[in-house]
Amino acid sequence: RRYTALLGGTTEWTKMEGIAVNGKDRKLYMAMSRIESSMRSDPTEPADHIKLPENKAGATYTLDLKGGISDSQGKPIDSEWVAVKMYVEPKLLGKPMAADARGNTAEVESIANTDNLFFSEKMRTLIIGEDSGMHVNNFIWAYNVDTQQLSRILTVTAGAETNGLQVVENLNGHAYIMANSQHWGDFIGTTNADLKAQLTPMIDKFYAPVGYIGGIPGL
């Protein structure tokens, strides 16, 4: 990191998480769980490359990749997979809000605090898992990169995070979206007190299931 900074590189990222690659389109997807602190403008710092508004709900970035690129010293980079553009597709941006009745502080129809990513080439779909301190229940989402349709496909127990994302595209003629969850009942601080009291006796904090979404034709 220090050497990168000495060469003029950007070291201001916060809370980078999972990545996934779309080989056909030469795109990399990167989870940025939160956009805050050093990603905001601070002219007092030695370098102030990133100047974004704070977004505690984070974003999933898209990076365009290509070859024929040279480094900052003009030397050719021997790779066809160099990031040349980084941006957020509109539906992959988190949307903070004031706490609702359940205690959510990010819109539940949008992704918040992306953690894990998996891209299925045959489905043309990015699978996105949350580990959010802004949703009472974390979700897993499917984002079709051709239609830009975002669909919530799984909800986990209150306080649990999603992880272990994987797509098996064809196993004996069937496709499966696999995932697991952990630390059930680790409620976010804004959870409605009555809701928390109702749910707590129902949750086994040591339960961490591994499962899959089935019923999908093989690809």
pLDDT tens readout for residues 5-16: 888 888 888 889
Scan for tokens 């697991």, then name that residue. Answer: 180
Structural contact between residues 103 and 192, judged by C-beta atoms closer than 8 angstroms: yes
Q: Give the pLDDT score at 46.
A: 78
Cβ pair 52, 61 in contact under 8 A: no
141, 111 in Cβ contact below 8 A? yes
Question: For residue range 61-87, what is the model confidence (pLDDT) as tens digits?
Answer: 999 999 999 998 899 999 999 999 999
- Mean pLDDT within 109-120: 98
Are the C-beta atoms of residues 163 and 182 closer than 8 Å to each other? yes
pLDDT of residue 1: 80
Tokens of 53: 């508004």
Given a cut of 90, whether residue 59 has pLDDT beyond it is yes
Residues 195 and 102 sit within 8 Å (Cβ to Cβ): yes
Rounded Cα–Cα distance for residues 16 and 7 (Å): 21
**How many CA atoms within 13 Å lie on the side-chain side of 78?**
0
- The confidence score (pLDDT) of residue 96 equals 98
